[in-house]
Structure 1
């Protein structure tokens, strides 16, 4: 459903949020290691997230990536998806047809439309704080063992 870049961006942002709640900044190397992503690829994704205002970075010895605590609860998954993949997840045909529409639907149009609406709702209502706290409590995880 999401691009590989978007999957990594979501995982990276959740990890950064979790660390930020503990007042830690993290390096892109540590982020890449935590989310099992190539470091150069991770660095590019993080640049996009900084440019979009989702995460922040500080250079230097005590530097790294972080999210101000006040922003963690106000940052929703839809913002990350939009920064990386744009609105493509909310557009287009479930079968990839170029001319699928309400007037000329593909075989899965109506069912896919319902799923897409549910996905949009989840992305718009799920914030980083709840996801980061799930990891902290051990209820969820970012990395398979």
Structure 2
């Protein structure tokens, strides 16, 4: 079961790949390379990257030497939480496990108190991990970005 939407999964993976390329080789990467490396359809990847560029989380440069990159500051500061919010919105990170708008401590759903610590842990994880940190793990062989068949 996926926790995030497909768009969000691709957005996170694309950001990490772009971050790895930016940090390792200081190079920009094209859409086709990104889609191939993360195992995602090119047109869908383009839409996801457009959201990330619009949010200022990934940089896009036009022209013959163009492509996508992350600046040193973006590598250091862009968190997973920012990517999730840019693509999926923040509802999952604040809302009820059952999607009930009126769920609260005063009027809890049946899962409220069990879900609250899990949601808080997820928020902490997403808030404290940067793209640069995760790109470093891929670079060091401690993680991968593409499904193997």
Give unmatched runs, 5+ long, in structure 2. Answer: none
In structure 1, which of residues 102, 107, 111 is the aligned counterpart of residue 110 of structure 2?
107
CA drift of 1:98 comes to: 4.3
Q: Which residue of 2 aligns with 1:10?
A: 12
Structure 2 length-normalised TM: 0.91
Q: Which residue of 1 aligns with 2:85?
A: 82
**Partner secondary structure for residue 14 of structure 1:** helix
CA drift of 1:97 comes to: 3.4
**Partner secondary structure for residue 101 of structure 1:** coil
Give runs of ≥4 in structure 1 deviating > 3 Å.
none
Alpha-carbon separation, structure 2, partners of 1:99 and 1:3:
23
**Partner secondary structure for residue 53 of structure 1:** coil
CA drift of 1:10 comes to: 0.6
The 5 A counterparts of 1:1-145 are: 1-21=3-23, 22-145=25-148
RMSD, aligned CA: 1.2
Structure 1 length-normalised TM: 0.94
Cα contact 2:58–2:68 (8 A) shared by 1: yes
Give unmatched runs, 5+ long, in structure 1. Answer: none
**Partner secondary structure for residue 73 of structure 1:** helix
1:73-93 residue CA offsets vs partner (Å, 9 max, x unmatched)? 111111111111111122222
